[in-house]
């Protein structure tokens, strides 16, 4: 896992460092930080658990199909149409879930960007007593991100 994490981080860093200046003009710094942090979190925390869950599920499915096929050979006639239906449903779910994850990522970027800007300009914000305005702005961004995250989480729960 450590090697995979290092390779992904190195490739991502290399791509960002070699990007043209127009990339930085069009891409907020929060989106770049979000990409780094989310990818590293996924490799570090979620990949092993997801792989173990996948292997356990596949072993269960294969064993159930074998047991049902031995007990009821007629089941094999319905297995192919069932597999085609499952594949079409999985295709629909994958496209929908990908868009939900993209929305979550895009909604998270302003949070990181605003936080970085706040830390850079904290003295100015306090000097003009504008912390309440900034807090309201941050809470609006947080509400939008949580809406996107809720839909992403609902998609995960419905998959189980």
Mean pLDDT, the chain, rounded, equals: 86
Boundary of a domain, candidates 27, 49, 71 = 71
Q: Domain containing 29: what range?
A: 1-71
Give the separation between CA 31 and CA 113, rounded to whole angstroms.
7
Distance CA 67, CA 127 (A): 72
User: What digits encode the pLDDT tens for the residues 7-61?
Assistant: 878 888 888 889 888 888 888 877 788 777 777 777 777 777 888 899 999 999 9
The whole-model pTM stands at: 0.55
Please compute Rg for the chain using Cα positions: 23
Same domain for 59 and 4? yes
| 101 and 53 assigned to the same domain | no
Above 50 in pLDDT, residue 160? no
- Does residue 81 sit in the same domain as residue 151? yes
Both 135 and 79 in one domain: the answer is yes
* Domain boundary residue, one of 71, 88, 103: 71
Residues with Cβ within 8 Å of 1's Cβ and at least 6 positions away in sequence, in order, are: 43, 44, 47, 48
Same domain, 87 and 60: no
DSSP secondary structure letters along 92-148: HHHHHHHHHHHHHHHHHHHHHHHHHHHHHTHHHHHHTT-HHHHHHHHHHHHHHHHHH
Q: Tell which of 40, 71, 102 closes a domain.
A: 71
Into how many domains does the chain fold?
Answer: 2
């Amino acid at each position: 896992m450590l090697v995979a994490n290092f390779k992904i981080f190195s490739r991502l860093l290399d791509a960002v460092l070699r990007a043209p200046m127009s990339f930085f003009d069009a891409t907020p710094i929060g989106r770049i930080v979000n990409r780094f942090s989310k990818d590293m979190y996924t490799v570090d925390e979620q990949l092993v658990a997801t792989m173990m869950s996948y292997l356990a599920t596949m072993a269960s499915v294969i064993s159930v199909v074998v047991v049902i096929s031995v007990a009821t050979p007629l089941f094999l006639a319905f297995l192919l149409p069932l597999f085609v239906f499952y594949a079409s449903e999985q295709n629909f779910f994958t496209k929908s879930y990908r868009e939900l994850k993209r929305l979550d990522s895009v909604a998270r970027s302003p949070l990181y960007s605003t936080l970085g800007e706040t830390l850079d300009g904290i003295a100015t914000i306090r000097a003009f007593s504008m912390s309440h305005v900034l807090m309201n702005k941050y809470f609006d961004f947080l509400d939008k991100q949580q809406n996107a995250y809720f839909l992403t989480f609902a998609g995960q729960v419905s998959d189980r």
